[in-house]
Amino acid sequence: MYIGNYRSKCEAVFLAFFIFFLLCIARLFYIQFFRSSYLASIARKQHNLFVELEPRRGAIYDSNRKPQAFNIPADSLYASPNEIKDKESAVRALAAILNLKPDYLRERLDRKKSFIWLARKITPEQSSEIKKLKIKGLGFLKESKRSYPNGYLASHVIGFAGTDNTGLEDTEAYYDRYLRGEAGWAVFLRDARQKRLDLWDSMVLPKDGYDVVLTIDEVIQFIAERELDKAYKAHHAKGASIIVMDPHTGAILAMANRPTYDLNDHNSASKDQMRNRSICDLFEPGSVFKIVTASAALEENKVSEEDKFFCENGEYRVANHILHDHQKHGWLTFRQVIEESSNIGTTKVAQILGPDTVYRYARLFGFAVKSGIDLPGEISGSLKEARFWSKTSIGAVPIGQEVGVTALQLANAISVIANDGVLMKPYIVKEVRDRHGVTLKKFFPAQVRRAISEETSLRMKKILTGVVEEGTGKLAKPISYTAAGKTGTAQKLEANGAYSHDEFVGSFIGFAPAEDPKVAIVVTIDSPHPYYFGGVVAAPVFKNVATDVIRYLNTSRPPSEELVLNAAQATD
């Protein structure tokens, strides 16, 4: 009896162990054939650390190879929350140094992770202060941070890159595909405590970004911004823009706006400060648009310089609208109509031409279409087709009303006259190079079309020279140089669609020297007070910029690059 019970117990124990053994075998079989890949990946994650290797973002240079944007080393702070013993003390200390909210740091340090970012690309001073704390569980990784050595200068041309070194505005955004490069990666080994060893299992090196060389000249940009800033502040304006262009190539030598912002502190800038008004702000041009009407009249042989027009002593009815001049005029020659900026005289010329001709020449001069400049955000402007004009449009469009333009379009238009009647495509980047200085892509001047004949261009140069010498643009005459140009004063539209009697855009467009143009310059001042006439608020800016820029070009710069008419010659 006793022996039988003992044997039964032994068999039961044996059976239990046998079943357990079979279960272990089955479990091992399952792990080996069905879970091996998953468990192996967990083991690799524990002992291998994947690290992305950041590429060098390309630099941005001005036309004389002076750096405008480049990357500098910067520390980024991370934490291993499980290794930090006194988290509350760490939160208080870090919040004071990094200027971060304690709740933000507390939430990140409470996460159950072995790695968490606390702050990216901090200043050297912040890094030094944190290292002095000697808090176990904090560490630094070397990254790179975008730096803009000139701060405010050319901010609306250069733009900025974000924390991840991706371009977000202007040239940084438009040419990001060249500048950003390609990230690499490496797999480093870690010990049992998850600390990285200086041993790597595999690696792919990053591919550095290419450098971009602008057409902008740092010296000309400084001159333009200095004078624009003076006018912007002196006339209490809401905004202002200036463009300096090589009329023979379309290269932008300077482009600036007010208000502006510091590229190194772009996070604190408003959308209004970051907006590139030169290419994305729409406004009625006013009398500067008269260069289109005048050029069309000469090109079509409808008038000559000495033809006389009666300007009705300041009042002229067009359909049901009374058109006025800023001062009363009687008989004026066609030349004087432009010099004195007579609305009535210009309208009478336009009535001879007809709506279709005025519209056609406006398009030939580049209005109502994007110029194709290599910057993001450009708008096309607005101009109704002639078949949609009202009965009063013939007295509005030829003098710059019922038309929406950008400052860049005005720069293109005045460059047509300076460039013997040929419209050029504006551009902001001249070449892309690798870090060794080898040119990978070069951008050449490109002709868009011939807008007017060379003869008409020459005649218009003489008329616009008279505007500066004898007419409304006397304050635009550079010291020691000749100039040609046109003033403009446009009423802004109210919210109800009526023209304002208090808000204006004062502008001046021109080129210098008049007989051999080196630069075309456009200046627009938005809502200046108390003076608002373009010949008063914008013309002096042109004068000062043209004087200093021509002097600089004559002494410090080689002749302009040879004109290349076919854009297809650009290398891809």
Which amino acid would we find at residue 274?
Answer: M
Q: Are 147 and 70 in contact (CB under 8 A)?
A: yes
Helices (H) and strands (E) in the chain, counts: 19, 23
Using only the alpha carbons of the chain, give its radius of gyration: 34
Catalytic residue selected from 287, 341, 371, 457: 287
Q: Strand pairing of 60-61 and 211-214?
A: parallel
Q: Tokens representing 96? A: 């004071």
Q: Give residues with Cβ within 8 angstroms of 162, minimum separation 6.
A: 168
Q: Is 287 an active-site residue?
A: yes
d(CA 551, CA 547): 6
Query: How many alpha carbons fall within 13 Å on the CB side of residue 555?
Result: 8
Helix residue ranges per DSSP H, 175-215 = 176-179
Compute how many other C-beta atoms are within 10 angstroms of the C-beta atom of residue 53: 13
- Residue 111 sits at φ, ψ, to 5 deg, of -75, 145
**Residue found under tokens 């202002």:** 240
Residue type, 410: L
Which of 483, 528, 487 has the alpha carbon at shortest distance from 507? Answer: 487
CA 166 vs. chain centroid, Å, equals 14
Neighbours of 214 (CB within 10 A): 29
Q: At what angle do helices 407-418 and 290-299 cross, to 10 degrees?
A: 30
User: Known catalytic residues?
Assistant: 287
